[in-house]
Structure 1
Amino acid sequence: MTNQTAFIRQTFPVGPLQCNCTIIGDPVTRKAFVVDPGGDPELIMAKLRELDLQVVALIHTHAHLDHFLASGDIKKQTGAPIYLHEGDKFLWDNLEMQCRMFGVPYRPVPDPDYWLKDDEELPCCEGVAMHTPGHTPGSMCFWFEQPKLLIAGDTLFRRSIGRTDLWGGDYKAIERSIKQRLYTLDEEAVVVTGHGPDTTIGEEIRENSIIRG
């Protein structure tokens, strides 16, 4: 767990494809949101109880199956609304097909409650949503300026980028998103990736062999 000046942050892998799920919480109000609850709902709920946080939203970087498989279970237990960019509705609606393709057991998930917009403020902790299409049409990143933290989903990885050969992927779009939106952020910012270890914006500008700054 990382306690930043502005909030509580805990990131941990969940689900069959080990997506990084992140809990962001306000240490004063105890309000929180969960980013990419991609599996293991019991683990996510245990972490929330341990941190004594009340979930106000379930927020998704995109709608590939491994980033929202537990969203229905968490919503049922917390009542928290589901947030997604509308550009990924077609992926959300085709969860069963995605599960079949990847050999993952299918469980229905309710429809999103709220469509995220570019540059929209998140429900707590002074985060801002950034529309960064490319990995999927509706891919989002979430930027927290004060602690210099970016939740990048599958747009940017340590020394790599999100694949663009799945439904709606677009290499030119992800290149624009990374160069014009992410690489213009503070180089000291920590990047929480969708899978694998954290990195920083500066490291990726200098050392990412696929898209350099």
Structure 2
Amino acid sequence: MADAKPALIRETFPVGPLQCNCTIIGDPVTKKAIVIDPGGDHELILARLDALGLKVVSIIHTHAHLDHFLASGQMKEKTGATLHLHKEDQFLWDALEVQCRMFGVPYTPVPAPDQWLSDDQALDCGCGVALHTPGHTPGSMSFWFPEAKLLIAGDTLFRRSIGRTDLWGGDFPTIEKSIKTRLYTLDEDATVVTGHGPDTNLGDEMRENPFVSL
């Protein structure tokens, strides 16, 4: 009998002034990792990567609101990892300094993304796929790891809530469509890592989310 494949490494923890959930995803065999939404505290993120024995190869973003990128430039500088974003959020990325000023958050310069994410694109860890789920922003992405039954939803879906649509580029009919036609078609046993706050269960959201349910 063949040995079972080791489980995907996943660690999520809040970072930065707005307590954005940063997630480390690591391949247990190659020890390659991606970091999703490094919203601050780059030294903490680097320490966790080191403790897990992982090497980050790419830094990917669910969207380009300030609280999801604040440590991206420092992470790239320290690790050489590439930055990834959906192109439809470029206008927000180009206005990162303005966003910080509006919210009174110190701005740390961040270079332009190295690569644009696309729908159904395989992620660098070799274990997941990017899903374009617009609505919170035009370029909002979610990341699906089928073998682990794990969904990184960013600010698209929360526990019994959904992402705001009253900010730059937000649109309720669009986020509703993204949730119903992309996220709610995934395995209902999946764990959902949200952009802020606690994890949730996808099936529970399908049945009980007061904003978008089936």
Relative to the length of structure 1, the TM-score reads 0.97
Which residue is equivalent to 1:150? 151
Which residue is equivalent to 1:93? 94
2:156, 2:162 within 8 Å by CA — same for their partners in 1? yes
| SS of corresponding position for 1:146 | helix
Which residue is equivalent to 1:109? 110
1:85, 1:116 within 8 Å by CA — same for their partners in 2? yes
Superposition pairs for residues 3-152 of structure 1, below 5 Å? 5-152=6-153
2:142 paired with 1:163? no
TM superposition outliers: structure 1 runs of 4+ over 4 Å:
none
Listed one character per residue, the Cα deviations across residues 11-31 of structure 1 (whole Å, up to 9, x for unaligned) are 000001000000000111110
Listed one character per residue, the Cα deviations across residues 110-129 of structure 1 (whole Å, up to 9, x for unaligned) are 00000000000001142000
Relative to the length of structure 2, the TM-score reads 0.96
Give 1:5 deviation, angstroms: 4.5
2:27, 2:127 within 8 Å by CA — same for their partners in 1? no
Listed one character per residue, the Cα deviations across residues 148-197 of structure 1 (whole Å, up to 9, x for unaligned) are 10000000000000000000001010000000001111110000000000
| 1:194 partner letter | G
| SS of corresponding position for 1:89 | helix
2:190 paired with 1:185? no
| SS of corresponding position for 1:166 | coil
- Quick one: distance in 1 between partners of 2:72 and 2:89? 15
- Quick one: distance in 1 between partners of 2:184 and 2:159? 13
- Quick one: distance in 2 between partners of 1:5 and 1:59? 23
Q: CA RMSD in A?
A: 1.0
| SS of corresponding position for 1:121 | coil
Aligned residues: percent identity? 72
- Quick one: distance in 1 between partners of 2:170 and 2:44? 31
1:204, 1:212 within 8 Å by CA — same for their partners in 2? yes
2:87, 2:116 within 8 Å by CA — same for their partners in 1? yes
1:25, 1:125 within 8 Å by CA — same for their partners in 2? no
Listed one character per residue, the Cα deviations across residues 21-77 of structure 1 (whole Å, up to 9, x for unaligned) are 000001111100100001000100000110110110001000000000100000000
Unaligned runs of 5+ in 2: none
- Quick one: distance in 2 between partners of 1:107 and 1:11? 23
- Quick one: distance in 1 between partners of 2:124 and 2:78? 19
Which residue is equivalent to 1:194? 195
| 1:120 partner letter | Q
2:6, 2:28 within 8 Å by CA — same for their partners in 1? no
